[in-house]
Amino acid sequence: MRKLILGLLGLFAAHAALAAPQLDKLTLPKGFHVAVYSDQVPNAREIALGAKGTVFVGSNSAGKVYALTDSKGDGHADKVRVIASGLQLPVGVAFKDGDLYVSAVSKILVLRDIENHLDNPPTPEVVNDTFPTETHHGWKFIAFGPDGKLYVPIGAPCNICDKGKDYAKLTRMNADGSGLEDVAYGIRNTVGFDWQPKTKQLWFTDNGRDLMGDEMPSDELNRLSHIGEHFGYPYCHQGDTLDPEFGQGKNCKDYTPPVYKLGAHVASLGMRFYEGSQFPASYKGAIIVAEHGSWNRTKKSGYRVMTVHLNGDKVTGYEPLLDGFQQNEQAWGRPADVQPLPDGSLLVSDDLAGAVYRVTYEKP
C-alpha cells in the first residue's frame, strides 16, 4: 500500500511539474520577454479588461471566473480573486459599462458593477438562457462589437454534422439579452474574434474538423464582409476542400474562403488585433492568435502564439511570437487567449499550466 501511495504521489508530482509554467523553454523574437503574470488561474481561458485595470479570466472545467489585480503596477498580479464559481464551462468573459458578462454554455450571465465589488461579488444574473445545452463545442468566447452588441457563437455539437442554421454560427444580441439574431453561418467553432480598428470588420478564427488526416483541413482565419455570410462548414473546408460526407453536390465557390489557412489541427483560439506602441512598428495592426495545440495529430502542431501581419485585408506574414509550450511531443502549456494591455504589453492565458503570462518588448 505504501508503494502504491508513493507511486501515486510521484505521478501527481510529475503531472504538476509537467503542467507548471516553464518559461525557460519558451522562445520569442529578439527584444521580447515573457514573465508570469499569475500562476494561480486554473484552466485559464478568455481574458477581458475592466475599466479600472482588472484582468478578468474565464475558465473551462474549473467552472470559475477570476479577477486579477496588479495593485503595484509591476506587471504581476498580486491578488487573484474567484468572483464566480460553480458555472458550466464559463470560458467567455466580456466587459461593458462596469458589468462583466460570462458565457456558461446555454446561458449568458452578468455580474453587475463588478470592479466595485471584487471582494463581495454579486450573484450572477441571467441575461439570456436560450442557447443550446450541448457541451460539445458548447463553451463560448464572447465579445462586444463596435455596435455595442454582444457576439455569441454557437458551435457545431459534433465533429462533423449538418444541423442546418441552428448550430455552427455566430449570433449577436443587445446587452440586455434581447434582439438575438444570426450574424454568420458555416462556422464549426470559433473561440476567438475581434474587430479591425480602422475598418470595424469582424475577423475570427475557426477550428477545422477532425478525422480527415494529419494535414487536413486547416484551421481558418476569416473576415466577415456582410451579415448572413456562409463560411462553408460542414460542406466545404478551408475554402477549397469538399467534405467527404456532406460535400456531395456542393461547390466550395458558393462559400466564403478563409483569408488565411492557419494550419491543420493547431486549434486556433483567442485572437486580438494589436494596436499598442510597445512592440515594434511591424506589429501595429497585426493579429495575435493563441494556438491551443493539436490532440489528434501524429506529430503535434500549434502550442504557440502566432503573429499574423497584414497589409489591409492581405496576410503578409505568419510567424511565432511565443513558442515552446511543447517539446518532444510533450506539452506543458496550451495557449488559449491573448489580450493587449494599455501599456502595449500582451497577456497570454494558458489553461494547462493554469497561468497568465505577460509579453513585453524592449529594444535590444
Amino acid, single-letter form, for residue 95: F
Cell triple for 112: 453587475
Question: Around Cβ 248, how many Cβ atoms within 10 Å?
Answer: 9
Burial class of 264 by CB neighbour count within 10 A (0 to 12, 13 to 18, 19+): buried
Query: Residue 16 phi/psi, 5° resolution?
Result: -65, -40
Give me the sheet containing 314-323, strands edge to edge. 268-273, 287-291, 304-311, 314-323
Question: 236 or 298: whose pLDDT is higher?
Answer: 236
Give yes or no for residue 30 having a pLDDT over 90. Answer: yes
**Any idea which of 95-99, 214-218, 292-296, 352-356 has the lowest mean pLDDT?**
292-296
All structural domains of the chain with their residue ranges: 32-361
Cα–Cα dist 61/256, whole Å: 34
- The 3-state DSSP class for residue 62 equals coil
Q: What are 229-285's pLDDT values in tens digits?
A: 999 999 999 999 999 999 999 999 999 999 999 999 888 999 999 999 999 999 999
Average pLDDT across the chain, whole number: 92
Listing DSSP states for 217-253 in one string gives SEEEEEE--STTEE--TTTEETTTEE-TTT-TT--GG
**Any idea which of 38-42, 73-77, 258-262, 295-299 has the lowest mean pLDDT?**
295-299
Q: What are 171-222's pLDDT values in tens digits?
A: 999 999 999 999 999 999 999 999 999 999 999 999 998 888 778 899 999 9
Question: Around Cβ 99, how many Cβ atoms within 10 Å?
Answer: 18
What is the model's pLDDT at position 109? 98
What is the model's pLDDT at position 279? 98
What is the model's pLDDT at position 10? 39
Yes or no: say if 203 and 194 are a contact pair by the CB < 8 Å rule: yes
Average pLDDT of the segment spanning 1-19: 38
Q: What are 109-142's pLDDT values in tens digits?
A: 999 999 999 999 999 999 999 999 999 999 999 9
Q: What are 86-107's pLDDT values in tens digits?
A: 999 999 999 999 999 999 999 9
Average pLDDT of the segment spanning 43-63: 97
What is the model's pLDDT at position 19? 62
Average pLDDT of the segment spanning 344-360: 97
Q: Where are the alpha helices (DSSP H) in the chain?
A: 2-19
Yes or no: say if 27 and 323 are a contact pair by the CB < 8 Å rule: yes
Number of Cα atoms under 13 Å in the Cβ half of residue 45: 26
Cα–Cα dist 207/218, whole Å: 8
Give yes or no for residue 9 having a pLDDT over 60. Answer: no
What CATH number belongs to 32-361? 2.120.10.30
Q: Which long-range contacts (CB under 8 A, 24 or more apart) does 123-126 make?
A: 124/84, 124/87, 126/177
Q: Which residues in 16-75 belong to E strands, given as ranges? A: 32-38, 44-49, 55-59, 65-69
Find cell 454534422 and name the residue.
Answer: 161
What is the model's pLDDT at position 7? 39
Give yes or no for residue 15 having a pLDDT over 60. Answer: no
Closest CA to 318 of 219, 235, 196, 201: 219
